[in-house]
Structure formats: C-alpha cells, structure tokens
Amino acid sequence: MLFFPGGHCRAGSDCGWSLYTSLGYGVLAFSRPGYGRTDMGPLTAAEFLPAVAESARRLGIERATAAVGVSFGGLQAIATAVSLPHLAPRLVLHSCAPSTTPTRTRPCRPGSLRWSLDRRFPASSGRR
C-alpha cells in the first residue's frame, strides 16, 4: 500500500495504516511535502508524483496494492492512482478533504475524476 496521510500527521504516525499492516499488507507511508521531516516545501499532488515513483523504484516496489489517502492525503492518493496506474491500480479514500483544484494547472470539473477512473478501470475489468 502507498499511504498518504493528511496534514494532521506524518508518515511515521499511524493515521490508519495499521489497519492494512494488521491484514498482512506492506505499507509505504509518505509525509506530505513540507510536513514531518521532509526537506522540501509545499508541492501540488502532481509535483510530488516523481518523488513517489522514485521512492517506490528505490525500494523495488513495481506495483502496490493501492494508493490510500486519509484526509488531505486523498488528493495525493488520487493523483497517484490516476497518473501512476501501473504502480497503484486501486484507490482507497478515508475521510478525504474535498477540493475543486487538486492541482494548480487543471481544475477538477464535476464528474471528471469518475470519468477518468472509469476510463482506466472499466467495470468489466473487475478492478474497481
């Protein structure tokens, strides 16, 4: 599992990832840019994607079970599942914060995320 907590905790804090480890899943948790002990300033979800991909590559993770987002970390989980479907083929959201602008460059239109996910994961694929 690629786990993205919200602003209220960092990667080392259990913001729900123990649910997945108790079920036998491995978890790679990320602190939001500018939180925890990260040495980078705030980034959009899209700007953080290269760091997510590089972290997984360095750890030998070619495919995770899902991208999991809690609270504001949901925006990062959505960006990861949509932009890196080979790495995170599923998306799990817990109590996520809503936003009409998940990235600086492309506002989210009503229904566009659903359309994007339907295109990547059609109902017939069994990957919902």
pTM of the entire structure? 0.71
Q: What is the C-alpha separation between 3 and 57, in angstroms, rounded?
A: 16
For the segment 22-75, what is each residue's pLDDT rounded down to a tens digit?
999 999 998 877 666 666 666 778 888 998 999 999 999 999 999 999 888 888
CATH number for position 47 = 3.40.50.1820
Burial of 105 per CB tally in 10 Å (0-12, 13-18, 19+): exposed
State the total domains in the chain: 1
Domain that holds residue 117: 2-125
Angle (CA) 118-109-50 rounded to 5° is 70
Mean pLDDT of the chain: 76
- Residue 12 carries which side chain, given as an amino acid letter? G
Q: What was the pLDDT predicted at 107? A: 46
SS3 of residue 98 by DSSP: coil
